[in-house]
Structure 1
Amino acid sequence: MSRTPEILWAQRSDKVYLTVSLPEAKDIVVKCEPEGLFKFSATGPQEEKYEFTLDLYGAIAPEGCKAKTGWRNILCSIQKEQRGWWKRLLKSEEKTPPYLKVDWNKWRDEDDEESDCIDLHVRSTCSAELAYNDDTAADNDGESSDDDGLLYLPDLEKARGL
């Protein structure tokens, strides 16, 4: 029998970010399917099996699905098929599962993203500018800098009050 780790999520108009809280994970498998199915499996530190499947609210671009493994978390960046804000993470309107929580440290409202465009003083070219920055800024591994924001994580023990 498998377990489900805690998952934090946030969105932008073009991406969804998932942070899977699973220290010292190994054998990590992440699969993204175009209709919005996100599958995850990994082995925990005591060889316990973790897995989950999320039926996301909208369609995604599988080629834009990236994952980075850290010591405490697996950070996933999922490209939306179409730009826009989802009303919720999951397609289902049922109550959100207890293991799925909003990541307020990465959360960005639609209004916040628009105000960034106004701050650029070039509202009409804002989307092109943001896309340009995503495509051209690269780190040593050749990945875009939008994933660099995934590297900052609050200390989970502190966040949980331990």
Structure 2
Amino acid sequence: MSRHPEVLWAQRSDKVYLTIALPDAKNVSVKTEPQGHFSFSATGPQGESFDFNLELYGTIIPEGSKINIGLRNILCSIQKERKGWWKRLVKSDEKPAPYIKVDWNKWCDEDEEESIKSDTLVSDDSDNALEKGEGDESSDDEGMLYLPDLEKARGN
């Protein structure tokens, strides 16, 4: 019998972020399909099986999706086919499964996204500032970088 890991989600107009809380996961498998089907499976540190399937609210671009397997979480950035804000994560009107929660650390409202984009517009000297380590500009995938990936952790 498989279990469900905790899944945190957030969105931007062009992406959906899923953070799957599963420390020391092995045999991680993530599959996405254009019509919005998302499936996940992995093995936990004691050999227990974890999996879930989601029918996402809208269509996606599987080739634009990124996965980062960290020591404590699996981070998924899923590219939406059309820019826009989804009413919810999944197609179903029913209450989401109890293991799916909003990721308030990454959440951004529609009006906040525009102000963040305008705040991160940089001057012509931005390349020099970044080389010197100045400035705090970041990409939309910033959340994908906060956990070390397995290769860095292993020293490869």
User: TM-score, normalised on structure 1?
Assistant: 0.76
- Residue in 2 that maps onto 1:152: 146
SS in 1 for 2:30: strand
Structure with greater contact order relative to length (CA < 8 Å, sep ≥ 6)? 2
1:152 partner letter? Y
Asked if 1:90 corresponds to 2:84, the answer is no
- Residue in 2 that maps onto 1:14: 14
2:3 partner letter? R
Decide which structure has greater helix share: 1
User: 2:119, 2:49 → 1: CA distance?
Assistant: 46
Gaps of 5+ in 1: 122-143, 154-162
User: TM-score, normalised on structure 2?
Assistant: 0.79
User: Percent identity, aligned pairs only?
Assistant: 69
2:113 partner letter? E
How far the C-alpha of 1:66 sits from its partner, in A, is: 1.2
- Residue in 2 that maps onto 1:53: 53
| Distance change >3 Å, CA 86–CA 25, structure 1 → 2 | same
SS in 1 for 2:115: helix
Larger Rg: 2
User: 2:62, 2:5 → 1: CA distance?
Assistant: 22
User: 1:80, 1:39 → 2: CA distance?
Assistant: 16
| Distance change >3 Å, CA 52–CA 111, structure 1 → 2 | same
How far the C-alpha of 1:117 sits from its partner, in A, is: 4.2
User: 1:13, 1:73 → 2: CA distance?
Assistant: 23
How many residue pairs end up in the alignment? 131
Gaps of 5+ in 2: 122-137, 148-156
